[in-house]
Structure 1
Amino acid sequence: MKATKALPPLLPLCRRLLHIGPAGLSLTLLKATALEIAILAGHLVLYPSGMTPERRPSPVPPRTLAHLPDADLDPAPGPDPAGRAANSTASSAADGIADAARLPCPNRPPVVLLHGFIDNRSVFVLLRRSLAQHGRQQIESLNYSPLTCDIRTAAELLGRHIEEICERTGRQEVDIVGHSLGGLIARYYVQRLGGDVRVRTLVTLGTPHAGTRVVPLANAHPIVRQMRPGSGVLRELCEPAPHCRTRFVSFWSDLDQLMVPLETACIAHPDLLVQNVRVSGIGHLALPVHPAVAAGIRQALDTEEGTDRAAARPGGGLTVA
Structure 2
Amino acid sequence: MALVQGGLRRLALLAGGVQSLAAEAGRVGAYALRTFGTPPGLRGLVLESAWLAAHVALYPIGLASEKIHQHDVYRTDDLPPAQRSLVVGDIEAAGTPVLLVHGIMDNRSVFTVFRRALRRRGFGVVHAINYSLLTGDLRSAAHELRAHVERLRAETGADKVHIVGHSLGGMIARYYVQRLGGSESVDTLVTMGSPHAGSNMAYLMPTPLARQLRPGSDVLAELDEPAPGCTTRFVVVWSRMDEMVVPQRNARLSHPDLRIDELELRDVGHLALPVDSRTVHWVATVLARPIHDQHFRRRHRHITRVPDTLRAGASPAS
Residue 32 to residue 16, structure 1, CA distance change in 2 (3 Å): farther
Question: Contact between 2:69 and 2:125, CA under 8 Å: does it hold in 1?
Answer: no
Query: What is the count of residue pairs matched by the alignment?
Result: 261
- What are the within-5 Å matches in structure 2 for residues 169-184 of structure 1? 169-184=156-171
What amino acid is aligned across from residue 160 of structure 1 in structure 2?
A
1:208 aligns with 2:191: no
1:158 aligns with 2:145: yes
> Where does residue 216 of structure 2 map in the other structure?
230
CA distance in 2, matches of 1:158, 1:49: 21
Residue 148 to residue 22, structure 1, CA distance change in 2 (3 Å): closer
More helix by share: 2
What amino acid is aligned across from residue 168 of structure 1 in structure 2?
E
Give the secondary structure class of the aligned counterpart of 1:216: helix
Residue in structure 1 matching 2:277, options 278, 285, 291 = 291
> Where does residue 195 of structure 1 map in the other structure?
182
Between the aligned residues of both structures, percent identity stands at 43
Question: Contact between 2:58 and 2:109, CA under 8 Å: does it hold in 1?
Answer: yes
- What are the within-5 Å matches in structure 2 for residues 94-133 of structure 1? 107-133=94-120
Residue in structure 2 matching 1:262, options 248, 265, 268 = 248
Give the secondary structure class of the aligned counterpart of 2:199: coil
1:313 aligns with 2:270: no
Displacement of 1:16 in angstroms is: 9.6
Write out per-residue CA displacement over residues 155-191 of structure 1, whole angstroms, 9 at most, x where no aligned residue.
0000001101111111110001100000000000000
1:30 aligns with 2:36: no
What amino acid is aligned across from residue 156 of structure 1 in structure 2?
H
> Where does residue 52 of structure 1 map in the other structure?
64
CA RMSD of aligned residues (A): 2.6
> Where does residue 19 of structure 1 map in the other structure?
29
In the alignment, structure 1 segments of 5+ residues that lack a partner are 1-14, 60-104
What amino acid is aligned across from residue 185 of structure 1 in structure 2?
I
In the alignment, structure 2 segments of 5+ residues that lack a partner are 1-24, 72-91, 310-318
Of the two, which has the highest radius of gyration? 1
Write out per-residue CA displacement over residues 112-152 of structure 1, whole angstroms, 9 at most, x where no aligned residue.
00000100000101111100101111111010111000010
TM-score computed with the length of structure 2 as normaliser: 0.76
Question: Contact between 2:93 and 2:287, CA under 8 Å: does it hold in 1?
Answer: no
Write out per-residue CA displacement over residues 68-120 of structure 1, whole angstroms, 9 at most, x where no aligned residue.
xxxxxxxxxxxxxxxxxxxxxxxxxxxxxxxxxxxxx9843100000001000
TM-score computed with the length of structure 1 as normaliser: 0.75
Displacement of 1:317 in angstroms is: 2.7
> Where does residue 271 of structure 1 map in the other structure?
257
Residue 57 to residue 16, structure 1, CA distance change in 2 (3 Å): farther
Residue 240 to residue 28, structure 1, CA distance change in 2 (3 Å): same
Give the secondary structure class of the aligned counterpart of 2:290: coil
Question: Contact between 1:178 and 1:186, CA under 8 Å: does it hold in 2?
Answer: yes
Write out per-residue CA displacement over residues 265-307 of structure 1, whole angstroms, 9 at most, x where no aligned residue.
1110000011121013111111101121100110111122335
Give the secondary structure class of the aligned counterpart of 1:123: helix
Of stretches 253-262 and 22-31 in structure 1, the one that deviates more from structure 2 is 22-31
Residue 17 to residue 258, structure 1, CA distance change in 2 (3 Å): farther
What amino acid is aligned across from residue 170 of structure 1 in structure 2?
G
